[in-house]
Structure 1
Amino acid sequence: MSGFDTEKPEAVDPERLISPSTATEPVSGVLRPIKRLTSDDRLARIHPETLAKTELLYYSDFARTFVRSDYNFCAAKMTVARGGKLLALEAEFHTAETFFRKALAWANRLHGRRTGLEPERVTLEIKHPLSGRLVRLLTIYDRLFLKTMEALAGRSVMAHERKAALDAAAARLKQIPQLCIPDNDRYAPEGVLLPDSDDTH
């Protein structure tokens, strides 16, 4: 059994989750480098609080797909988040960071054998502190991916334990795009998502 809670978040939308079967696939020899990120035009229009670039090294299909499909969208939406939405995002990041800290501590205790995988890399723009925190979470996800792959090779973790850990980690990360989707005015000041006006009729 893993030494941390692998239960998925209650509010996670299964339709938004990347398939667990692809979440555990390695990059090396399988995936092409990312050439263009979705929503790059949206992010380019944002006037940043901060402006930096970072290079993300990734091994997993989950990280590649998240970066390509969700990162720029999240980065743009987080830059303009205000009030209750910003509070909700801060709370989710705190929860996710706590989860990943425990997950990585568990993975670091596992005995593993090096796999020889080489990472792909992509350059990401950081226009808000939350974007930097998202990149760190993706980095930790991939460390968890690699550590558990090595542990699987070293027979110190079972395949179902690894799958449960990676599925829970993926679900935790996918909460962030879900929170980014509603506009600022859909959140109460205390960070609670208000019901859609269509749902009240």
Structure 2
Amino acid sequence: MADQDPPKKPASGLRPIERHNSEERLSRLTPTTASSTLHAYYSKFARDFLDAHFYYCSAKFVVARDGKVKALDEAFRAAEEWYGSALGWLAKTDQVEIPLFHEEKEVKVSHSFAGRLLRLLMQFDRIFVETLYSQEFGSISPDERTTTIQIASRRINAIHQLCIPDTDRFEANGTLISSHRSLPDGHA
């Protein structure tokens, strides 16, 4: 055993940074507060968002403060209002149900914003399915379906985009601070 070399430390003496992704990242932030739910989804968008962005957003929701919370809340309100009106519009269309394949995934919800985001993803799937049913019946055109799905996905992606900047990048009123502030003496 004496012939083995001790493990080498980095030159700076600092330990390597470990990246935490998806559920592992979230459990480091909120190990005891998360609850789980089983989410069924039909669309590729919902599947991809759950796999790639949901836990990232959840982790950012946990640490959000002040202006970022306000910006996120406003984005959620706008999305929820749009989704409500879109689902109301679809409820008035004639539809024919066709069998669709779906998958299920267990999702951990760690924050009220994460619950709201999951609800929007569930509503996205309803829009995805109901626009297909309406299109099959002939109540809406393929272009109307495509446009509706694109707008629905942009509403969710807007929330994801707000998660990316750190909390200190937001004013108290919820507006994002421009990264191109002028420097003293007129330098850009």
TM-score, normalization by structure 1: 0.77
Change (3 A) 1:39 1:198: farther
How does 1:60-71 map onto structure 2 within 5 Å? 60-71=43-54
TM-score, normalization by structure 2: 0.83
Q: How many pairs align? A: 164
Asked whether 1:148 is paired with 2:131, we answer yes
What is the distance in 1 between the residues matched to 2:100 and 2:67? 42
- Aligned to 2:138, what secondary structure does the other structure show? coil
- Aligned to 2:36, what secondary structure does the other structure show? strand
Moved more, 43-52 or 143-152: 43-52
8 Å contact kept, 1:51–1:128:
yes
- Aligned to 2:97, what secondary structure does the other structure show? coil
Q: How well do the aligned residues superpose, as a CA RMSD in angstroms? A: 1.6
Which of the numbers 153, 173, 191 marks the counterpart of 2:156? 173
What is the distance in 2 between the residues matched to 1:167 and 1:190? 29
Which residue of structure 2 lines up, in the alignment, with residue 8 of structure 1? none
8 Å contact kept, 1:48–1:128:
no
Larger Rg: 2
Asked whether 1:86 is paired with 2:69, we answer yes
What is the distance in 1 between the residues matched to 2:22 and 2:52? 8
What is the distance in 1 between the residues matched to 2:181 and 2:104? 43
Moved more, 41-50 or 111-120: 41-50
8 Å contact kept, 1:49–1:79:
no
Letter in 2 for 1:85: K
